[in-house]
Structure 1
């Protein structure tokens, strides 16, 4: 199973998202071709309702703790409650980082 699929499966199981997008952004970094080291996650979940950003990020990190041991190096997180996602519906593009 790819690390990307593992991230999707673990977040789905742990946080029951109503919206989930996982982007492998490793190609934007100085890593070998076909690497799975840098990801961006956009996730909407009822679990995030009433929680501050740090608490939300901790939940995501806890769900993916095994993935960090399997090569996940960097994770950009955009976490929303369903109400917030309805208002936002867009997150900024990640910058290129090939240094």
Structure 2
């Protein structure tokens, strides 16, 4: 499921933001012992012109809006580095 979720996150972010750089990393192994044994922990690093002149909190909100229906249905925790 993890690889499928990485692919789904990647596809949605590409479609929404046409990023010049995108990295989606499954960090579940870093959270062993947490809820669901760390499943659903991801890190996103994204660079997109769509974020030009947009405050960091708004960038995060934009990303969460695209991934909203995946939160708690595949994504348990998401860290974001958006530029």
Deviation at 1:69, TM superposition (A): 4.2
Tell me the equivalent position of 2:56. Answer: 53
Tell me the equivalent position of 1:88. Answer: none
Asked if the contact 1:6/1:67 (under 8 Å) is kept, the reply is no
> Which blocks of at least 5 consecutive residues in structure 1 are unaligned?
81-99
Structural mapping, 1:1-99, within 5 Å = 2-29=4-31, 30=33, 31-32=36-37, 35=39, 37-80=40-83
How many pairs does the alignment contain?
A: 78
> Which blocks of at least 5 consecutive residues in structure 2 are unaligned?
none
TM-score (norm 2): 0.86
Aligned-residue RMSD, C-alpha: 1.5
TM-score (norm 1): 0.73
Deviation at 1:67, TM superposition (A): 1.5
Rg larger in structure: 1
Q: Which has the higher helix share?
A: 2
